[in-house]
Chain A
Amino acid sequence: MENLIGLLVAAPLLGAAVLLCGGRRLDRSGPWVGTLLAAVSFALAVALFADMLGRSGEERTLTTTVFSWVPVGGFRADVGFQLDQLSMTFVLLITGVGTLIHLYSVGYMEHDERRRRFFGYLNLFLAAMLLLVVAGNYLLLYVGWEGVGLASYLLIGFWQHKPSAATAAKKAFLVNRVGDMGLSIAIMLMFTTFGTFAFGPVLEGAGQAGEGKLTAVGLMLLLAACGKSAQVPLQSWLGDAMEGPTPVSALIHAATMVTAGVYLITRSGALFDAAPTAQTAVVTVGAVTLLFGAIVGCAKDDIKKALAGSTMSQIGYMILAAGLGPVGYVFAIMHLVTHGFFKAGLFLGAGSVMHGMNDEVDMRRYGGLRKYMPVTFVTFGLGYLAIIGFPGLSGFFSKDKIIEAAFAKGGTEGWILGGAALLGAGITAFYMTRVMLMTFFGERRWQPDADGNAPHPHESPKTMTVPMVILAFGSVFAGGLFAVNDTFLKWLEPVTGHAHGNPPVSALTVTAATMVVLVLGVALAWARYGRKPVPVTAPRGSWLTRAARRDLLQDDFNHIVLVRGGEHLTRSLVYVDHTLVDGVVNGTAASVGGLSGRMRRLQNGYARSYAVSMFGGAAVLIAATLLMRAV
């Protein structure tokens, strides 16, 4: 069974190699090759899952060392895999959703000339992401981590002829580099502290290491998670990443890659449990981001960017839960999985809408689409109900648990975190209802574009609707399935551990409060976008709306603080270089030059003057000798 883990990664990697090197003769069959290999990977994952279920809770972890990667003296890095319940959850999510999205892309990218390359990149992403989650040590995890970053860069900039896509890809890559820096520093710190990269010794040894060092490692891991999962302060790339094709947004920037940060924190749980300061930083980042993303999501008219704000916000929930320690790990992962279903479904729905609307993304130019796209409407609607936490659907179970766990943190901190999570739930209901109303309800607002082509909204082909339907099923039932009898909790507990919190208010009260803010959010959105017609051009809006449209000034902040700051820094460094460093060097050169110019006069070519120096030198030597004797 252990050997299958390697195959799991190898199948999509093979796909990437074949598709990227295969040349034009694969243009026609390429999409199906890519989809097939993704499906193979999924089948292997299911086989491994079935095998894992056959063993009892504690014995489910599979570890295997494939080969010794860098054996140098005391330094030892192996290519080894570790498949436990946590990895398995991710593997199933990645391969399952990944296969569905491959299938969807077959229809979505039908008319794109470079679709073979697209599927190659998608397979590359799957391979890197699977490597990330099945890696048995941090160094191999880092390889996967960089791999998904590369795939993300390639796919965001897939339509590289658009300058905006090329810029967005660069932005995503650069911002991610900052986070990757954090991960590499964290790994180096781990090596100096524990002398190894493997998960087992590092996490078991966490108790013995000094708290200061663990805090440093924890903060660096948090920085890494912030970069990859688009958390404040490294969140600015996610909105622009929507320049990529919609299946990419669904797979990479909603369901899987952006949740890698949550995986990292949950995997390193033992380190964080021993470093309370780092944990506080994690929950702060989570709480700030979940509000930040939600507020941004409220103001965006671009359907994908609204969903991107929502993704940021939902991952904020997960990071918050992961920062709560053993109380929250299970719920973070549970929300991650349900979010994977409904957010991927929502993105695919958005892609389907764009597909039928000549790639229009402005929701103000949609309206009344439910009549034209019934399947998209129903699946998107189910995803919508799941994300806002409608009772009985996926989001309800997972999000409710997180809010409860946040309150259970205790003290003022608990009230602040719980309040933020609760407020976030209300805002989520507001912006998602807004998206829903603007897209599928109200009167039709689309108009012919500049070339006079009026869009003819139509339902998408089967390859696109089938994945949407399957994901809609997941959005509806996954949460309930996980929550009944605490199935998910029991499944994950052997790996992450679990502790029951003591919330200051009863679970029922939390649920009731969530329902109240949910209804308030929906009602407010209805009052603003349902009852009144939506204007085609966006109104000016309040200062908050204007700021949120600009992503709460994240780019302005980055520009003023980082770009301008960097420019000033370089300018002053150049000044110092020119005046001080060059001054010293040039001054030395000038004085040596001047001195030698004077010395040169001594070499006048007259034998007699040389004789004078000889006699003078001899006289001085003799005088010195005599003087030394006398003394």
Chain B
Amino acid sequence: MNPVNYLYLAALLFTIGATGVLLRRNAIVVFMCVELMLNACNLAFVTFSRLHGNLDGQIIAFFTMVVAAAEVVIGLAIIVTIFRSRHSASVDDANLLKL
């Protein structure tokens, strides 16, 4: 199978993720969309690794996974805390820092 198709898939996933981040209000969904974008990137990295025949892309993918895991821990903690205090997970309600 032509590896370029994986790139198309990665682009599609990234677009879906970006659209979700921009359009959804629910913090959990936004968060999942961010993960989707990260994984789209991973897919692209691995595909390029395969295309160029070296391991750089795969190593970067591992890094990304580690960063994503750390991000999930902190991000979920924040979302849970916000939900506790405001009884809502909408990103639009968290605007206390607005002027």
Q: Does B97 contact A (CB under 8 A)?
A: yes
Please name all residues of chain A whose beta carbon is closer than 8 Å to the beta carbon of B22 when the two chains form the complex. 608, 611-612, 615
Within B8-27, the residues touching A (CB, 8 Å) are 18, 21-23, 25
Determine if B21 and A611 form an interchain contact, defined as CB atoms under 8 angstroms apart: yes
Determine if A606 and B92 form an interchain contact, defined as CB atoms under 8 angstroms apart: yes
Please name all residues of chain B whose beta carbon is closer than 8 Å to the beta carbon of A412 when the two chains form the complex. none
Please name all residues of chain B whose beta carbon is closer than 8 Å to the beta carbon of A606 when the two chains form the complex. 91-92, 95
Bound-complex Cα distance A615 to B18 (A):
8
Please name all residues of chain A whose beta carbon is closer than 8 Å to the beta carbon of B70 when the two chains form the complex. none
Please name all residues of chain A whose beta carbon is closer than 8 Å to the beta carbon of B21 when the two chains form the complex. 608, 611
Please name all residues of chain B whose beta carbon is closer than 8 Å to the beta carbon of A615 when the two chains form the complex. 18, 22
Bound-complex Cα distance A612 to B23 (A):
10
Q: Does A597 contact B (CB under 8 A)?
A: no
Bound-complex Cα distance A608 to B25 (A):
8
Q: Does B99 contact A (CB under 8 A)?
A: yes
Bound-complex Cα distance A615 to B23 (A):
13
Within A589-621, the residues touching B (CB, 8 Å) are 600, 603-608, 611-612, 615
Q: Does B86 contact A (CB under 8 A)?
A: no
Please name all residues of chain A whose beta carbon is closer than 8 Å to the beta carbon of B30 when the two chains form the complex. 607
Bound-complex Cα distance A615 to B21 (A):
10
Bound-complex Cα distance A605 to B95 (A):
6
Closest CB-CB distance, A619 to chain B, in whole Å?
10
Closest CB-CB distance, B16 to chain A, in whole Å?
13
Closest CB-CB distance, A273 to chain B, in whole Å?
79
Closest CB-CB distance, B42 to chain A, in whole Å?
18
Q: Does B98 contact A (CB under 8 A)?
A: yes
Please name all residues of chain A whose beta carbon is closer than 8 Å to the beta carbon of B97 when the two chains form the complex. 605
Within A58-101, the residues touching B (CB, 8 Å) are none
Closest CB-CB distance, B78 to chain A, in whole Å?
12
Known: A612-B22, A615-B22. A607 touches B91 (CB 8 A): yes
Please name all residues of chain A whose beta carbon is closer than 8 Å to the beta carbon of B98 when the two chains form the complex. 603-605
Bound-complex Cα distance A606 to B92 (A):
6
Most B CB within 10 A of own CB, among A600, A603, A611: A611
Binding site secondary structure of chain B: loop
Closest CB-CB distance, B2 to chain A, in whole Å?
23
Binding site secondary structure of chain A: helix
Residue of A603, A608, A611, A612 touching B99 (CB-CB under 8 A): A603
Bound-complex Cα distance A600 to B95 (A):
15
Closest B residue by C-beta to A609: B22
Please name all residues of chain A whose beta carbon is closer than 8 Å to the beta carbon of B99 when the two chains form the complex. 600, 603, 605
Closest CB-CB distance, A346 to chain B, in whole Å?
85
Bound-complex Cα distance A136 to B38 (A):
90
**Contact pattern, B 26-45, Cβ under 8 Å of A = 1, otherwise 0:** 00001000000000000000
Within B55-73, the residues touching A (CB, 8 Å) are none
Closest A residue by C-beta to B34: A611
Closest CB-CB distance, B14 to chain A, in whole Å?
10
Please name all residues of chain A whose beta carbon is closer than 8 Å to the beta carbon of B92 when the two chains form the complex. 606-608
Bound-complex Cα distance A612 to B92 (A):
14
Bound-complex Cα distance A607 to B97 (A):
11
**Contact pattern, A 180-213, Cβ under 8 Å of B = 1, otherwise 0:** 0000000000000000000000000000000000
Bound-complex Cα distance A611 to B91 (A):
12
**Contact pattern, B 66-97, Cβ under 8 Å of A = 1, otherwise 0:** 00000000000000000000000001101101
Bound-complex Cα distance A603 to B95 (A):
11
Bound-complex Cα distance A612 to B22 (A):
7
Bound-complex Cα distance A604 to B91 (A):
13
Bound-complex Cα distance A603 to B18 (A):
20
Bound-complex Cα distance A604 to B25 (A):
15
Bound-complex Cα distance A611 to B22 (A):
7
Please name all residues of chain A whose beta carbon is closer than 8 Å to the beta carbon of B91 when the two chains form the complex. 606-608
**Contact pattern, A 198-236, Cβ under 8 Å of B = 1, otherwise 0:** 000000000000000000000000000000000000000
Closest CB-CB distance, B24 to chain A, in whole Å?
8
Bound-complex Cα distance A604 to B95 (A):
9
Closest A residue by C-beta to B18: A615
Closest CB-CB distance, B40 to chain A, in whole Å?
14
Closest CB-CB distance, B38 to chain A, in whole Å?
15
Closest B residue by C-beta to A608: B22
Bound-complex Cα distance A607 to B94 (A):
9
Closest CB-CB distance, A359 to chain B, in whole Å?
78
Bound-complex Cα distance A611 to B98 (A):
16
Bound-complex Cα distance A607 to B22 (A):
9
Closest CB-CB distance, B70 to chain A, in whole Å?
20
Within A557-614, the residues touching B (CB, 8 Å) are 600, 603-608, 611-612
Closest CB-CB distance, B7 to chain A, in whole Å?
15
Bound-complex Cα distance A612 to B25 (A):
14
Please name all residues of chain B whose beta carbon is closer than 8 Å to the beta carbon of A604 when the two chains form the complex. 98
Please name all residues of chain A whose beta carbon is closer than 8 Å to the beta carbon of B25 when the two chains form the complex. 608
Please name all residues of chain B whose beta carbon is closer than 8 Å to the beta carbon of A608 when the two chains form the complex. 21-23, 25, 91-92
User: Given known contacts A606-B95, A608-B25, A611-B22, what 6 new A-B pairs fall within 8 Å (CB)?
Assistant: A603-B98, A604-B98, A605-B98, A607-B92, A608-B91, A608-B92
> 8 pairs across A/B with beta carbons < 8 Å?
A600-B99, A605-B97, A605-B99, A607-B91, A607-B92, A608-B23, A608-B25, A615-B22
* The 8 residue pairs across chains A and B that have the minimum distance between CB atoms: A605-B98, A605-B95, A607-B91, A611-B21, A608-B22, A611-B22, A606-B92, A612-B22
